[in-house]
Amino acid sequence: MTATVEHDQVLSIAQEVFSAMVDGDLGLLLPWEGDLPEIDDALVAWVDLHGEWSGRAVLVTAGPTALELARVLLDLDPRDEVSPDDLVDALGEIANVVGGNLKSLLPTPGTLGLPHVGDALPPLDGAVRSQHLPLSWRGRLLVIDVWVTPLVLKEKP
């Protein structure tokens, strides 16, 4: 096992999370094909990983997509209102599970922070984006990024 997280590993985790938690079926989360549209009204969910490998797992999507995700997770009718608390909870929990599964790939123990949700990603000291996965969930754009701190980058062969 290496100290890096590979693109295909992140894709595999994301697809497993959506298959088991959201869709109940494989094949509804796929790599985005074609040009990337701007994400209007973006919501960002992230969870930080601390330890010898430090970084951040990030989920970015448009507000309406986040609402749809929350509806599916909560098993709500398409016309049902989603409360702001439930929206934050749902999006944060997806980031949390993706981050937890990323952590399980790492060769050294560490800790996982609690999930956060906002309309912009706060800076993480010196971190660089190591993976960027634009994905299509039921045809809607959803981006998963992995950020890594310089300590890890220095250790890369």
> Which chain residues interact with other proteins by CB under 8 A?
16-17, 19-21, 70, 73-75, 85-86, 89-90, 92-93, 96-97, 99-101, 103-104, 109, 112, 114
CB of 115 to other proteins, least distance (A): 8
Encoded tokens for 130: 């190591």
CB of 50 to other proteins, least distance (A): 12
Closest to other proteins by CB, 35 or 85? 85
Q: What one-letter code names the amino acid at 101?
A: N
Give, in degrees to the nearest 5, the angle at Cα 42 between 36 and 43. Answer: 125
Q: Parallel, antiparallel, or unpaired for β 42-51 and 110-112?
A: antiparallel
Closest to other proteins by CB, 35 or 75? 75
Closest to other proteins by CB, 82 or 127? 82
Q: What one-letter code names the amino acid at 25?
A: D
Closest to other proteins by CB, 20 or 128? 20
Task: Measure the CA–CA gap between 11 and 59, rounded to whole angstroms.
Answer: 12
Q: Parallel, antiparallel, or unpaired for β 55-62 and 140-148?
A: antiparallel
CB of 67 to other proteins, least distance (A): 13
CB of 76 to other proteins, least distance (A): 10
Encoded tokens for 7: 């693109």
